Amino acid sequence: SIQVILDVHRDAIQTASGTRYKPTTTINGKKAAQVMIIAGCDGYDIDIPSYKNNLRFANGLQDKMESMYPTLTRPILFDYRFYNQDLAKAAILLELGGHANTLTEAIYSGELVGDALVKLLAG
């Protein structure tokens, strides 16, 4: 009966020399960690039968987030990756900022994603 699966993480954005980056934006006067959606696809040794549905869901969520909160998202990563995205027809991974973002920035982004998700699923 589960229809949507969100696997929530913080990205590790770091150079080989150890410099960490924190993708941020300002939404309603507050700093927010930028959000990246990862949607895996079929290929090689990866079997995600519903990858097209996952990508469609990822696009819909990104469109909703950007229409409500411009600059909140980074580009969707659509790649040969497997993050339990075979478990539902709307299963994606969300990166809420990176490991250099503050907890406050990540939590605020989570609230914004939640608002957009409610609007997407309701309408």
pLDDT, tens digit (0-9, with 9 covering 90-100), for 77-120: 876 566 666 666 788 889 999 999 999 999 999 999 999 999 99
Instruction: Output the pLDDT for position 83.
Output: 64
Contact assessment for residue 80 and residue 28, using Cβ atoms and an 8 Å cutoff: no
Give this prediction's pTM: 0.88
- pLDDT of residue 48 exceeding 80: no
Q: pLDDT-derived band of residue 60, with 50, 70 and 90 as boundaries?
A: very high
From start to end of the chain, where are the E strands? Answer: 5-11, 24-27, 30-33, 35-40, 77-79, 91-98
